[in-house]
Structure 1
Amino acid sequence: MLLLGIDIGTSSVKVSVVDAQTQQCLASVSYPETEREILTRQPGWAEQQPLQWWQDAKQAVLQAHATQRYNPQDIGAIGIAYQMHGLVLVDKHRHVLRDAIIWCDSRAVPFGEQAFEAIGAERCLTHLLNSPGNFTAAKLAWVKQHEPEVYARIHQVLLPGDFIALQLTGEATTSISALSEGIFWDFARHELSDDVFRFFGFERGHIPPVRDVFVPHGQLKTSVAEELGLTSGIPVTYKAGDQPNNALSLNVLRPGEVAATAGTSGVIYAVTDQLFVDRQSRVNPFAHVNHTAQQPRLGVLLCINGAGSMNRWVKQAVGHELSYPEINQRAASVPAGSEGLLCLPFGNGVERMLANEQVGAHFLNLDLNVHTANHLLRAAQEGVAFAFRYGLDLMRENGLHPTVVKAGRTNMFLSEVFTQAFVNATGLTVELYQTDGSVGAALGAGIGAGVYASPDDAFRHMQCLQSIHPNEEAAVYDAVYQQWKEQLLAHLPSLKSTVQIEFNPA
């Protein structure tokens, strides 16, 4: 039996076909080859077209088939991973009502802040575990106020992965994990949040049926099966946001285990069984793929919007004709610390870990007699590493003290400069694995289809490719980080301290 994983990313859609028995990836394709744009009709806005995701997903599946490395008719289950926190609205005919408001869109911050104040900080933090902030519920509130004619036509409110499953199966479902990332879920009462729905005036009927992550979410429609060369009726048996899914792909499921990604955004995702919050919601706990009311499993998510997006911008600005391996090679020609050049990589919307402030991206200490394009390339990667260090310190303030983090050898972790800077700046050891979100989604489909006796069984063949430890440059990076942090704080005059709230559910 083969498993199909579909990962709906911001830049592209990636699909992988995995042999369920050997757990080996037989084919992997990204589409399109050039990165999809983010629509920014106004400053701070970020939108994409859901139907473009669907078209890209279909093209990626067909290109995977074209490799002729497997028989498409042997695919027996489908799993979906998707960019988190997006808002997709459909009418009663399941037609998209407007472009999706995606994760890095900043417009809804005031709506989340109003809800936080009206519902009450203690109530939000002990029931939602977060401020409504800039998450999906607040985005829906923006639509309700500014586009009432759109809101009036809503039949269902979907996350990006829910929408792709709807296209595949004709059926819309959601999960506690998805609802928690949208700030629709009450962890204390284990149900949809009365507080959120009452304050914003939302209709509960707009939420699709709630199912577990690892269960059937519908069966492949005959028309889609014929178009994609698949077997009609095969089930979608897994659906999760990209960061919980990335953790799954690395077998990070137990308290104390930590995963990281450095794609368009950068993320540290730490699993815990403790329900705690950061008062300013700068790090955010959401229900993990294996969360239950009886056995809580939360993924505490540190997100940096400006990670791979910063790296991509510098590449386009100073070396657009070069490949990413060539960019990494040029960055490696510059000594650690970039000879004093610093980069604040925060130019992709408001940053949750910076209390929803929009700092923007900056290069600092630029010396026209010293610094070259190669310095810019290295400083950008080091700036992302320093942003990870800053966010990791927030997690440490909240009692999380990881020593080892697992990551897929992909995106920015393909850069030796970035990976070593990450390790030296944070003091963590990084273990790299040959996996990615689409492979994780495929294996998740196998778990949901009952192919594997347990999640551990789905990863029994996974092996660490490389462990990277702090080296002699760690002291250099610590000193440079202190300078970097000083510059960051100068751009954050309103930054307040983090306060931990202990929560003991009744």
Structure 2
Amino acid sequence: MLLLGIDIGTSSVKACVVNADNQSVIASAQYPDEESPIISPRSGWAEQSPEMWWQQTQQALALCIKKGGFEAKNISAIGIAYQMHGLVLVDKDQNLLRDSIIWCDSRAVEIGDNAFNGIGKETCLSRLLNSPGNFTASKLAWVKQNEPDVYHKIDKIMLPGDYIAMKLTGEITTSASALSEGIFFDFQANELSKDVTEYFGFSDKLFPEVKPVFSPHGSVRDDVAQQLGITPGIPVTYKAGDQPNNALSLNVLKPGEVAATAGTSGVIYGVSDLLAYDPQSRVNTFAHVNYTSELKRLGVLLCINGTGSLYRWIKNAFGVGLTYEQMNAEAAKAPIGSDGLRILPFGNGAERMLNNKRVGAHLHNIDLNVHTTAHIFRAAQEGIACAFRYGLDIMRGNGMNPTVIRAGKTNMFLSNLFTQTFVNATGVPVELYNNDGSLGAALGAGIGAGIYSSQADAFSKAGRVDYIEPNNYKAFEAIYQDWKAILEKHLEDMQDDKSKEKDSVNH
């Protein structure tokens, strides 16, 4: 029995076909090879075309089929993982109304801040477990305020994975997990938040039917099946945001278990059974894939927008002609601490863990007589690891104290140097597994289709491929404290500039 997993990423779409019996990947592919464009009409804005995701999905699946080794007609269920927090809008004929406002877009920060005060901070934190912040609800409010002609044509709002499921099946559904990541879900009432819909003036009719994450979300249409070369009527039985899905793929399902990823963005994601929240909403709590009203399973998420996105920029600016593997080898030639060179990686929109400030990316202490590209490559990896440590300390302050972190051996965790630096920065060992989002989505489909007896059973054959312990934590602590001082000076300067601007307006 075969399972198809689709992972709708910011950079590309990945697809894999999995043998359900032994949980092994038969074929996998991603499309395109080069990173997908992000449309930025204004500074701080970030959009992508959902139709581009659909075209890439078709191409990725075609590449899988071309590799052979399986019969596509034997695929029995489909799972979808997707970039979180994006806003997709369609009319009554399921036509797109605009490009998707994606996760790293910053235009709705002020709208979210006003909603936090308008709804009431205590109400937001106790019922939504978050500030509305810069999430999907605030993005929808931005469309309502600034594009009323578009807003009045909306039949349904969706997240990116919902759109791909709609293209496959013609049906539109959502889940408690999806509503929570958009800040539409009331955890106390276990339903669509009346506080949010009434404050923003959203009609309940805009929201799709709510179904469990692991359940049928529609069956593949005949015409689409013929186009893709798969069997008509096979179900989509799983949809989840990329970070809950990454946690699932690492079998992170129980309270206290923690996963990490370092792709375009960086995330630490821990599971809790407490309806808890960060008072400043710097880390965010969502319904995990196995959340039910009876079994509270919450995903506590720390997100850093600028991780792989920084390393990509460094490659384009300083590593032209080099592969990432060659950059990593060069980085290893520089000493720990990069001879004082420090990099803040926050150049990809407003950072939630920094109270939605747009700090920007910065290179500090460049010595023209000392520093080389090797130093820059290493300092970038160290800066990203320090950002993870800064966020993990916030999570620790909210009761999340991991003794081990699980990660897939992919993206930046392909670099031995980065992985060791991450471990030395955080002081927490890392277990690496051969997995990615498309594999997790495929196995999620198997759970939703009832092929596996339990969620844990779907990952019974997953094997750890590496275990990395801290080997220089004390030495790196001094580097981290220096990096942290630079960051906090930037934050202080931003606050001073804001105060001066306010004073000048008042006078």
TM-score (norm 2): 0.97
Partner residue, 1:478: 477
Gaps of 5+ in 2: 497-507
- 1:437 equivalenced with 2:437 (yes/no): yes
**Partners in 2 of 1:26 and 1:177 — Cα distance?**
29
Output the CA distance in 2 between the equivalents of 1:318 and 1:399.
40
List alignment gaps of at least 5 residues for structure 1: 496-506
The equivalent of 1:207 in structure 2 is 207
- Hey, what's the Cα distance between the residues in 2 that align with 1:121 and 1:258? 28
Partner of 1:310: 310
Provide the C-alpha distance between the structure 2 equivalents of 1:75 and 1:50, rounded to a whole number of angstroms: 24
Letter in 2 for 1:418: F
Tell me the residue number matched to 1:280: 280
Counterpart-to-counterpart distance in 2, 1:48 and 1:254: 34
- Does residue 81 in structure 1 map to residue 81 in structure 2? yes
Deviation for aligned residue 1:294: 1.1
User: In structure 2, what is the equivalent of residue 113 of structure 1?
Assistant: 113
Aligned equivalent of 2:487: 488
CA distance in 1, matches of 2:190, 2:218: 24
Which residue is equivalent to 2:254?
254
Report matched runs for 1:280-429 at 5 Å: 280-429=280-429
How far did 1:215 drift? 0.3
3-state DSSP of counterpart to 1:240: strand
Deviation (angstroms), 1:266:
0.2
Distance (whole Å) between structure 1 residues aligned to residue 444 and residue 25 of structure 2? 14
Q: Which amino acid aligns with 1:289?
A: V
The alpha carbon displacement at 1:122 in A equals 0.4
- Deviation of 1:30 after TM superposition, in Å, equals 0.7
Cα deviation for residue 400 of structure 1 reads 1.0
Question: Which residue does 2:18 correspond to in 1?
Answer: 18
Corresponding residue of 2:467: 467
Give, in angstroms, the shift of residue 11 of structure 1. Answer: 0.2
Offset of 1:320 from its aligned partner? 2.3
| Distance in structure 2 (CA, Å) of the matches to 1:85 and 1:362 | 26
What letter matches 1:318 in structure 2? F
Separation in 1, partners of 2:363, 2:70: 48
Q: Deviating runs (4+, > 2 A) in structure 1?
A: none
CA RMSD of aligned residues (A): 0.7
Residue identity in the other structure for 2:122 = E
**In the alignment, what sits opposite 1:46?**
46
Structure 2 equivalent of residue 197 of structure 1: 197
Distance in 2, matches of 1:454 and 1:190, equals 24
Paired with 2:280 and 2:37, the residues of 1 have a C-alpha distance of 31
The amino acid that maps onto 1:444 is: G
SS of structure 2 residue aligned to 1:492: helix
**Which SS does the other structure have where 1:22 is aligned?**
coil
Q: Look up the SS of the partner of 2:210 in the other structure.
A: coil
Aligned to 1:277, the other structure's residue is in SS state coil
How far apart, CA to CA, are the structure 2 residues paired with 1:265 and 1:301?
A: 12
Equivalent pairs: percent with the same residue? 63
Shift of 1:177: 0.1
| In structure 2, distance between residues paired with 1:435 and 1:26 | 13
Q: CA deviation at 1:364?
A: 0.4
Query: What amino acid is the match of 2:135?
Result: F
Residue-by-residue CA offset, 1:285-326 (whole Å, 9 max, x unaligned): 000000011110000000000000001100111112111111
Aligned residue number for residue 97 of structure 1:
97
Following the alignment from structure 1 to structure 2, what is the Cα–Cα distance between the partners of residues 352 and 164? Answer: 27
The letter of the residue matching 1:260 is A
